Amino acid sequence: MKKAKHIGLIFGILTIFILAACGGSDDDNATDSNGETDYSEEVDYTIIGIEPGAGISVTTEAAIEEYDSLQGWSVELSSTAAMMTELRGAIENEEPIVITGWNPHWMFAEYPDMKYLDDPEGIYGGEETLNSLARIGLEEEKPEAYKLIDQFEWNVEDMEAIMYEAEETGKEVEEVAVQWVEDNQDRVAEWVEGVEDVDGVEIELASTPWDSERASSGVLKEVMEQKGFNVTVTELDVAIMFESIATGDADASLGAWLPITHKDFYEAHQDNIVDLGPNLNGAKIGLVVPEYMDIDSIEDLNPR
Ligand code: PBE
């Protein structure tokens, strides 16, 4: 009995210590030497990222290498869905968080009070374009497909409208894309201008596993099928997407983010792919934080 009491007491004291330790980091904000909130410590020097195969993950590793303010930081790589869940939790509790963010995406429609951190070293670059790629030989072998893919271009608002509606309604992005084609026949008319109908020509579109590319691939697939093509869309890791165009396994892709996000992949394969140029202007990537965090630049973070 006596022993049990003793153990109870020890557990009691331990509990108090543990509670005090947790309470300390929960209630009080970490502060730096100037007495200002040290967000870096609060987020445990961790950037919340997405899939390891994404270009933005590669770029973020480069940012950690490059910035003194990010020395000792790491990037947590899992999935876009997991990042969005962590973001939602942080915003609900007004806690600091640093994520890898990009446009087009619905994250800024859902959480308008977020900002890109300034990137004075230009690691994430400025404006990105989404370029269309074709395999060498597509132009000669399937000229109508080549012409249509080359003529396909739209803008951030179009793409985000599809992504946001899918997110809001829970419908598949591909389904919303089909409806978009129906509702925007004037735009579609520009892409199919001078393109003859075909009879079941097979087209392999290589895509990547994000809603932006589900939207563009979904729209192009529908437009091409209305012209008589038989289109298959395959979602691949970025590296494999580039490789499949370079080897000719796939005919085309709409998902090359340039000049920064997919730089390494592009440079590895540029001699073996045909770059048809931008199908969308005004994309962007970078480190993103909620507005309530009182910092503006990557340089306002602190090394570990
Ligand atoms: N993204 C969206 C991808 C491409 C599409 C910016 C997350 C990336 O490779 O980083």
List the single range of 18-27, 71-80, 238-247, 283-292 with lowest mean pLDDT. Answer: 18-27
Q: Give strand ranges (E) for the chain.
A: 46-48, 74-76, 99-103, 114-116, 128-135, 202-207, 230-235, 252-258, 273-290
Per the CB < 8 A criterion, the answer to whether 285 and 117 are in contact is no
Helix (H, G, I), strand (E, B) or coil at 298: helix
- pLDDT above 50 (res 159): yes
pLDDT band with cut points at 50, 70 and 90 for residue 13 = very low
Residue 242 Cβ contacting ligand 1 at under 6 Å = no
Residue 293 has pLDDT above 80, yes or no: yes
Task: Tell which residue, 95, 137, 179, 70, has the closest CA to residue 272.
Answer: 137
| Ligand 1 atom closest to 54 (CA) | 9
The span from the CA of 300 to the CA of 293, in Å, is 11
Q: What is the pLDDT of residue 21?
A: 41
Instruction: Indicate whether residue 257 lines ligand 1 (CB < 6 A).
Output: yes
Per-residue confidence (pLDDT) for residue 37, from 0 to 100: 79
Q: Hey, what are 165's tokens?
A: 């509606």
CA distance linking residue 32 with residue 40, whole number of Å: 9
Write down the pTM of the prediction.
0.88
Does 4 have pLDDT greater than 60?
A: no
Tens-digit pLDDT profile for residues 97-151:
999 999 999 999 999 999 999 999 999 999 999 999 999 999 999 999 999 999 9
